[in-house]
Amino acid sequence: MHHPGPPRFAAVGESVELAPRQPEPDMAAEWRLAERPAASTATLGDGPVCHLEPDVPGVYRAAVSTADETHEQVVRAFPAVTETARFSVTAKDFDCDGDTADLADRAIVIGKFNDFTMGTHWAERDGDEWVIEADLPPGTHHAIFSFDGSFESTATDEATVEGPGRPRVELTSETVDEVLVVSADAHAAPSGSEPEVEFYLDGRDALAESAVIIDGDELRVPREALPETARIHAVAVAERHSVADTLVIGHDGETGEATADDTATVSRPADPPAWAGDATIYEIFVRSFAGETVDTTFEAIERRVPYIESLGVDVVWLTPIQASPTRHGYHITDFFDTATDLGTREEFESLVDRFHDAGIRVIFDLVINHSSRDHPAFQLHRAGVPEYEDYYERIPASQDVSDVDWAGEDAPGHYFNWTRIPNLNYDSLDVRRWMLDVVDEWRDVVDGFRCDVAWGVPHGFWKEVRERVKADDPEFLLLDETVPRDAAFAENEFDVHYDTDLFDALRDIGTGEAPATALFEALDATPERGYPDRAAHMRYVDNHDEDRYIDECGAAPLRAAVGATFTLPGTPMIYAGQERGVEKQRGTMRWHDGDNALTDFHRRLVDLRTDYAALRAPAVRPVLHTVETDDADRVVAYERTDGDETLVVVLHFGDGTATVSFDTPVGDTDLLSDDQVGGDGTVEVGDVVVVPAADS
């Protein structure tokens, strides 16, 4: 069945890719626009993969014919809420050496905005400024300007677009007198108005619209009218629309957990696995892990599993292990085999088995936005072999921002200065089939995918990947690299999301550019962006793409920042070496000369979060306090509660020890260190203190 999938929800002007699923070699697929709003002039192009750009609000219906089948894709377009944002820098803003008087008339902008990907957009010179404008949604957006597309000599600017956040919606169901009742609980964004709810059925199911009654925020359908599978979708609509929520109704134990009527089942396909909320992730940059004089191989990592096990972590994320000419591994030359310097496929599977024996899941770094330009498919593509002509994105040579002399009159699409990793063309069914085969190759070997450059791959493809991997293993984890974070990837796509808001806030706090209370603003950004309440978020201070926190902010702020990732809601992640005091971004693991005290600090944080359910609960409440000594801006305090258990967390991002007093009594024993830290409502905090509330 090649049905293109669930209804799609977009804003006017946003391009929605439409593609038949489960593509087959040489299959034919033809699209037509069967319905559009009366005022629309939107059209669909030729080809098996099309892009619909809604030009007015309303419902669009696109039909695709494949062989003897015709399927319909519904696209609901909502009004766009955007404003023109202006970004500009001057020569003195650039972090570069030498004379800047002769800088170029154009600068490439290499940031990525929520709805506007840079890397192929030029800022034009206007007198002493380089300026670019873009229509952007509400929020604060950052632009990075560069003259050569690299991150070495750059200048930055930010612009804030005022406006409402995105509402949220959650579906629940019950059976009443043989009628299935689906209720939508809609929540306004902190800066938005109360939303209404719209329900949508799924074209893959045999549920007739005539059998359904919709009354406000409820949908009702007689049990006898339900087909074997029925998917119910809903969006909350205010000034902006929400991420859609979905329920799948099945029969005879087909899916999910039984309802009150034991012949029907209900599942929530967008929810993350329950284990993800309790997990701690440990990222290994594979080629720097074994040490200074030992080559890192799968066997070498396997011999070090006892150390990883001693940390108490639940999940290991391995940076790419496939064939690649680079140390970091993100330039893939063979998607179906392991890198020879790391070991054989059998040795990799042995490593996975060893982790599993230790009770540790393994996340595989899935790189499917691009390949290496040394991949045979790209070489055949550029050399004009007909079978590969549509495997990679093509742009006019006049739009190319690189200094590469590409063959032909066009150039490959790529982001930033990544000329060695051209973008795959997801308008090609051959590419979609190829990458689905890659997914199938590894999904039964590992427990999840961390998806590199997730923001570069179409939403429709991720939705297909999710259904594909979850059909056989609902516990399989999908982690997105979406920078900056974007709630659209939570709509039946990913389980866990990079929290770039908290990451940025902790960096600003660590350098002294923001007070410690800025972490509350970062947490508030999650509902403002429209993430569903059930979505999971990865909280981290380091990863392989960023300068080390300890190098940028120092050792004292590092402990407090790590303490935040373990005592705030979310899924904490440790980047290997963070716990050993490694200062280099992708530096070699410090085994013989690492910081053992810092390592033990991480172990105790993992144990503490495991032992106290309050630290894994969703809510955070600021606690009134007074900083008796030290800078008040370097201290933050908050409560974490689960049932009758309430803990008070105090973080100190400064040097030395701060004395902090509270209006109400708190415990005098730090649960993290077992040390006495005060009494009578006062605590002494060096970096992180966790004490019981007085009545807990």
> Which residues are catalytic, by number?
452, 481
The answer to whether the beta carbons of residues 324 and 372 sit under 8 Å apart is yes
Q: Which two tokens stand for residue 616?
A: 């894994």
* Nearest partner of 279 among 491, 537, 498, judged by Cα: 537
Instruction: Using DSSP, state whether 177 is helix, strand or coil.
Output: coil
Q: Which two tokens stand for residue 667?
A: 């415990």
The answer to whether the beta carbons of residues 108 and 88 sit under 8 Å apart is no
Beta strand pairing status for 196-201 and 625-627?
unpaired
Q: DSSP secondary structure string, 557-594?
A: HHHHHHHHHHHSSSEEEEETTGGGT--STTPPP-SSSS
Q: What does the alpha-carbon distance between residue 491 and residue 457 come to, in Å, rounded to a whole number?
A: 14
Q: What does the alpha-carbon distance between residue 578 and residue 540 come to, in Å, rounded to a whole number?
A: 10
SS3 content of the chain, % helix, strand, coil (to 5): 25, 35, 45
* N residues, the chain: 696
Work out whether the CA dihedral 167, 271, 258, 610 comes out positive or negative.
Answer: negative
CB-based contacts of 512, cutoff 8 Å, min separation 6: none
Q: What does the alpha-carbon distance between residue 190 and residue 411 come to, in Å, rounded to a whole number?
A: 44
The answer to whether the beta carbons of residues 557 and 549 sit under 8 Å apart is yes
- Residue indicated by tokens 């209720």: 183
The answer to whether the beta carbons of residues 421 and 414 sit under 8 Å apart is yes
Cis peptide before 227 (omega within 30 of 0): no
- Residue indicated by tokens 């670019």: 132
Beta strand pairing status for 8-11 and 69-78?
parallel
